[in-house]
Amino acid sequence: MKTPILRHFAYTHLPAHLQVVSAPFGDLAEDLEAMLPDGPEKSAGLRKLLEARDCMLRAALDLAVA
């Protein structure tokens, strides 16, 4: 069963300029889900990866405004 947090890594609904930023994070999350056993460290790592992705998306939004 896939980790529920993976749904937050979806990116196809985003505008193209944000998909480019988000896609590597979503792809990495899927790879790690398949590669690693379930457990608290994997959950924490995926949460932190999601936080990093969110930061990068905000940076991309700032770039669009500048």
Instruction: Tell me the whole-structure pTM to 2 decimals.
Output: 0.91
For all residues of the chain together, what is the average pLDDT? 94
What's the CA gap between 64 and 44, in Å, rounded?
Answer: 31
User: Which stretches of the chain are DSSP H helices?
Assistant: 16-35, 40-65
Average pLDDT rounded to a whole number, residues 22-32: 98
pLDDT of 5-15, one tens digit each? 999 999 999 99
The CA angle 42-38-12, to the nearest 5 degrees, is 65
48 is written with which tokens? 């932190």
